Structure 1
Amino acid sequence: MPRCTNKGCLKDFDESANEEGSCSYHPGGPVFHEGLKSWSCCNEVNKPVLEFDQFMAIPPCAKGKHSSAVPTSSSSSPKPAEAPSGPTSVSATGVETYGTAKPDKPESGSRTPNANSNVAVSSTASAPAPAQKVVEEEDDLSIPVPQGAKCKRLGCGAEWVDEGAIFHEGSKGYLCCKRRVLEFSEFLKIEGCKEGNHLFVGAKKDESKEEIVTCRLDHYQTPLQVHVSAFAKGADKEKSTVKFEGQSLHLDLYLPANKRVVKTVTLYGPIDAEKSTFRILSTKVDIVLQKPSASSWPLLELPAPGTELPPGYALTFGVSGRTGTVGGKEIVLAPEELARRG
């Protein structure tokens, strides 16, 4: 049976049963712009999406009959060249003639103007100069693209991502094979380059197996405290623990779906473990680290040995002289920073 070539359908159909409304398709074309994907015919109803799988799942917006015709790309005809602003011809006596239209044939018995006439008639129409075809530079598909390379075309700035389908400047294909096509319908017909079993729902996740994950840490500080936010949404208040030591923070957070955060942070400076506190909220864990004395931490975590901070980095916070930092006169540094500066 033939396969329907309508965009968004691509189903096999029986020509004898090809009735009106049996085909659901997109009458417009695909639109790919800055990572967003949509169909021109229904981008107001079906909003653009980011993932290619989501784009393929956009429901068709029109119904009709199946078609096996090869899709053709329509090209717009070039605009006619504008009439030149200067004269198109100058006679021997200096008479200028404007316009590009070819004059009508003189009627029988009429006289053709001679060189001494005050009116000059253009004998031939000046045809517009053909527009020069601009040859766009394209990638050599035999040359590998380094990860993170940016598009060299002005105003684009797209970054190469080494995965999935490739859509760039009209060229479409898959990373795993080198074939590239221009038309989207041809892209959908690219045959797979690997054989194996079908994959419809993926592997079943073992809910009984614990998954170790990470969480993001943000912080800000005052002269005597460091406030840390551990973004672990839905942490179990009964099972989760936060422990403090002399210069360490230990997180053991139990999350939904059998996920767990186990993390030890070596802090930039010492803390008072007994006065440090934490609260487990619905979206995060709030932690307050108590400093033994007023000082500034340029970082939350102590850098690895040999890691140099930029000059003046530790001077961004921490002064003495009055309460807090407003009006303070003397910069306060952590003991580690003082020892490093020697």
Structure 2
Amino acid sequence: MTGLLQCYNKGCGQKYDEGSNTEDRDSCQYHPGEPIFHDAKKKWSCCKKFSTDFSEFLSIKGCTKGKHSNVRPVEPEKNKTNGTDSAELSSVPLTPAAPAPLPPVSNSQPRPSPSEPMCQLSVEVTPSLKTLLSKMSIEHKSDAHGTGAVEEDTVNVVVGTSCKNSGCKATYSGTAADNDLCLYHPGVPIFHEGQPVGTIGSNYRTRNRATNLAVSIAAQATCRHDWFQLPGQVIITVYAKAVIPESVNVTANRVRLHATFEFGSDRQRFDKTFELCGTVVPEASVIKLMGTKVEIALKKGEAMSWPRLEILAPSTATGDESKTQ
């Protein structure tokens, strides 16, 4: 049989003769709706029949009768939701777009002057340090101001010891002559264009020789230190064992921190100034003295992250210009 046309009504799939294709014969049984695939269910939008098997879904007979059609149906625009109908999509709330990221926080306020008045930070002595100092029996050797000076009458000076003052060549003899005045230079030698001079000029200072031999200045020490930060604090840790509480003197303003203290049985001295990268609140900052370290907790002046602990020196930030001159 020739001249048959293919019916493109959904669910029909038959071939027909155009001459016998009339409205009153209801020769075509089809689905006027659209297929819907949701989860495991497969159904037509025009009827309530559904199936979980694709072959059974294709065999579901049409719910409407009418005339065959040789016109291909217009393909609906493909939905990115794998068959979810428009009614279901309209019930799903749209997720708002994520807001644009905020720019990095910058310090819009001018940097305070490092010459602002310094504030004394409060000191807390932990039990671990108290226990350690008790074991070392050095608490009674600390004077009220923590200067580390040793009483003259407790020092046994060996006869023949040289005077430590610059420019004095006297030696300790153990006689009354040791109480004579010492003529010395308080400065350091400077050699400039072949003419050695002192930093204090040609002036001399006087001092008792015996006292000078007995009293020694605490040795300057370099302690390892590091830091970390929290959202509202910057923590500086200086590693020094058995810090003498009476010798601790830590002051700060908004951009500068100066810490000095003595530690150990030999009373080594730590002295350092930090030019802080950000601003702090000295009144809300605190120092904790522990058995093996000193912890300085500085409250941040602004809630922002510090890229480093200290500001870069001009020669580091812009390059050492002296090399090119």
Question: Normalised by the size of structure 2, how large is the TM-score?
Answer: 0.30
Q: Which has the higher contact order (CA 8 A, sep 6+)?
A: 2
Q: Structure 1 or 2: larger strand share?
A: 2
**As a proportion of its length, which structure holds more helix?**
2
Larger Rg: 2
Q: TM-score, normalised by structure 1?
A: 0.29
